[in-house]
Chain A
Amino acid sequence: MTDQEILSGLAEIIEEIAGTPADEVTPAANFVDDLDIDSLSMVEIAVAAQDKFGVEIPDEQLKDLKTVQDVVNFVSKNS
């Protein structure tokens, strides 16, 4: 899976869960400050990402993933 594929898959997930338009989900976007996504939505996104990419993102990792690119990197490294 390329980073671009992970990014577009992640954008679909975020649009579905948080209602954020997919085109706002850019690599540099910060979940809390730019996308207004709170910790509970992050858990839902992590669970959906696990279904979609087959990569588990545990709660203890989740708090360190602050930007979209952080998640892309995590998925890329662990898939």
Chain B
Amino acid sequence: MVAGAKILAFGGYQPDKVVTNDDLAKLVDTNDEWIRTRVGIQSRRVARDDETVADMAEAAGAKALAASGLEPSEVDLVIVATCSPEVPLPNVAATVAYRLGIPAPGAYDLNAACAGFCYAIGAASDAVRTGSARNVLVIGAEKMTSWIDWTDRSTCIIFADGAGAAVVSPAADDEPTGIGPVVWGSAGDQANKITITGRNGALAQDGQAVFRWATTAIAPVALEACRRAGVTPADITAFVPHQANLRIIEAIARKLGIPRDRVADDIIHSGNTSSASIPLALARMAEQGRLRPGTPALLIAFGAGLTYASQVITVP
């Protein structure tokens, strides 16, 4: 057993193609002003047809690994949170590990939809603390646009593609734990609120019901994650919720009393990238100098299932 786990580094990857609200207004009956005010998105990234979830996961994983200073051979577990792989098998994690030159690690995909990254960080932290793994590469990677109906204006304006990654490692004995206890749960009675049905199905969601749930049920989970980590929202220097909808993000932040300048708003130029949104936002905030190393950041993810998970991490 080791005392605790911590995050060493983040990495993010986004496809090159930018799709603006004006571009979408040519496909469906919508407009820039409506999208900005309802969901807060100005533009999003969309993967090429031949660009796979594994390709994006590999790119983000390579960046996180390089930033961590670890050699690929030092990683012994790879977890890919995804709900949008092209095929159910083989899984994404084993392919990505092989491509990154990580020799024969444990490798699995995890599906908690948009909540996946926080689930995966929780699983990685537990694996490190119990000794099941030494160093874990955690990746959230999604090609949501391959599961979108481009004639459905309630969903095609929201979802996007990308990947983000983090490296989880043991904390030294004299070091404070860098990943707090995960607070996670689900509401399976509302499974029908966000769905993809059938082999050729498209994502459908009951937007109003999901908005209500996210703006009521999620803030208490974040508060509990703070309590279990021994911090208060006033201590949080970066609040990084799943980038679902800017209105949801701002409503949760308001309930927690966290000032706007500490709140991730990567959705504005990235859209909703499901399990990739939190690590992408973290990687962006790190690049922009908006993260303060050694201080607590609060993560909370929520999505289809319905599922949710939250934890406090120490900024690497």
Chain A contacts to B: CB under 8 angstroms: 38-40, 43-44, 46-47, 59, 62
Set B37, B38, B209, B251: member contacting A44, Cβ < 8 A: B251
Q: Tell me which residues across on chain B come within 8 A of A46, comparing CB atoms.
A: 212
User: Is B212 a contact of A47 with CB atoms below 8 Å?
Assistant: yes
A78–B251 alpha-carbon span in the complex (Å) = 26
Smallest CB separation, A51 vs chain B (Å)? 9
User: Is A44 a contact of B215 with CB atoms below 8 Å?
Assistant: yes
Chain B contacts to A: CB under 8 angstroms: 37-38, 208-209, 211-212, 215-216, 247, 251
User: Is B38 a contact of A38 with CB atoms below 8 Å?
Assistant: yes
User: Is B38 a contact of A40 with CB atoms below 8 Å?
Assistant: yes
Q: Tell me which residues across on chain A come within 8 A of B251, comparing CB atoms.
A: 44
**How many A-B contacts at CB < 8 Å in the complex?**
21
A43–B208 alpha-carbon span in the complex (Å) = 7
User: Is A43 a contact of B212 with CB atoms below 8 Å?
Assistant: yes
A43–B216 alpha-carbon span in the complex (Å) = 10
User: Is A43 a contact of B37 with CB atoms below 8 Å?
Assistant: no
Q: Tell me which residues across on chain A come within 8 A of B37, comparing CB atoms.
A: 38
User: Is A59 a contact of B216 with CB atoms below 8 Å?
Assistant: no
User: Is B208 a contact of A59 with CB atoms below 8 Å?
Assistant: yes
Smallest CB separation, A11 vs chain B (Å)? 18
In the complex, the chain B residue whose C-beta lies closest to that of A50 is B216
The answer to whether residues A59 and B209 also contact, given A40-B38, A40-B247 and a CB cut-off of 8 A, is yes
Q: Tell me which residues across on chain B come within 8 A of A38, comparing CB atoms.
A: 37-38
Q: Tell me which residues across on chain A come within 8 A of B211, comparing CB atoms.
A: 40, 43
Q: Tell me which residues across on chain B come within 8 A of A44, comparing CB atoms.
A: 215, 251
Interface centre among A40, A44, A47, A62 (most CB of B within 10 A): A40
Smallest CB separation, A58 vs chain B (Å)? 9
Smallest CB separation, B212 vs chain A (Å)? 5
Q: Tell me which residues across on chain B come within 8 A of A59, comparing CB atoms.
A: 208-209, 212
Q: List 21 A-B contacts (CB under 8 A).
A: A38-B37, A38-B38, A39-B208, A40-B38, A40-B208, A40-B211, A40-B247, A43-B208, A43-B211, A43-B212, A43-B215, A44-B215, A44-B251, A46-B212, A47-B212, A47-B215, A47-B216, A59-B208, A59-B209, A59-B212, A62-B208
